[in-house]
Amino acid sequence: MNNYAEEIRNAVTARELFEFYGFAVNRSGFVCCPLHGEKTPSLKIYPGAGGWKCFGCGAGSSVIDFVMMYFGLSFVDAEKKINEDFRLGLPIGEKLTSEQQKDADRKAAERRRKQMERQEEYERLKTAYNVALDNWIILDKMRRDNIPKSPDEPFSNAYVCAVTWIDDAGAVLDEATDRLLKFEKKDCF
């Protein structure tokens, strides 16, 4: 029997899992822990395959561990449940012919490739956001540092440059922020 735990952890993020089972994840990635009674969210969901951790009861780990604890299942049964619920198509618990094993391996490689593509896109969007933020900060600092001290003092070139370009830098930052947030919401990073 093959162990598909790594594939499951890479294919299903904790955010996807919690939302699939009906738990509302807030913007900060927290949810009320269903493993113990609480009114304030203390369970943190980490991006990608980062898993989860409850700061109230101390539980935490992977999506498989959560399904085991929440539904009271064995490890293999938790794998099977996630496989079925998320339609991963993994042949968990089945005896495979060599052709079926090749097909399962091909599908797993395709899932890993797609996950890597999503991660690369996320990194690209994060980099674009960080560059836009850095540019805006530089212009804002240049504007504040070079503001005339009195109404009679002439504008310095640095001040004029900063004032001229800061709105454009702000628009680029807003666009980069929107793209990153949409990606995080769509792909559950």
The per-residue pLDDT for 2 is 54
The answer as to whether 47 is a domain residue is yes
The answer as to whether 108 is a domain residue is no
In the three-class reduction of DSSP (H, G, I as helix; E, B as strand; rest coil), residue 73 is classed as coil
Q: What total number of domains does the chain contain?
A: 2
- The verdict on 32 and 81 lying in the same domain is yes
- The verdict on 81 and 124 lying in the same domain is no
pTM of the prediction?
0.56
Residue burial 167-182, b: 16+ Cβ < 10 Å; e: rest: eebeebbeebeeebee
Cα–Cα distance, 179 to 3 (Å, whole number): 36
Which residue reads 């619920």 in tokens? Answer: 85
The answer as to whether 95 is a domain residue is no
The answer as to whether 107 is a domain residue is no
Contact status, residue 70 vs residue 31, Cβ threshold 8 Å: no
DSSP 145-173: HTS-SSTTSPPPHHHHHHHHHHHHHHHHH
Q: What percent of the chain has pLDDT over 70?
A: 96
Structure tokens at 166: 């800061």
Q: What's the domain range around 148?
A: 118-187
pLDDT higher than threshold 50 for residue 1? no
- The verdict on 81 and 126 lying in the same domain is no
Q: Domain boundary at 85, 102, 135, which?
A: 85
Q: Domain boundary at 61, 85, 109, which?
A: 85
For residue 11, the domain's CATH number is: 3.90.580.10
The answer as to whether 91 is a domain residue is no
Q: E strand or H helix at 121, and its extent?
A: helix 98-145
In the three-class reduction of DSSP (H, G, I as helix; E, B as strand; rest coil), residue 130 is classed as helix
The per-residue pLDDT for 189 is 44
The answer as to whether 101 is a domain residue is no
Cα–Cα distance, 11 to 69 (Å, whole number): 20
Q: pLDDT tens digits, residue range 170-187?
A: 999 999 999 988 887 765
DSSP 80-115: HHHHHHTT----TT----HHHHHHHHHHHHHHHHHH
Contact status, residue 47 vs residue 13, Cβ threshold 8 Å: yes
- Residue 18: closest CA among 55, 43, 42: 43
Q: pLDDT tens digits, residue range 42-56?
A: 999 988 777 899 999
The answer as to whether 74 is a domain residue is yes
The answer as to whether 110 is a domain residue is no
- The verdict on 76 and 123 lying in the same domain is no
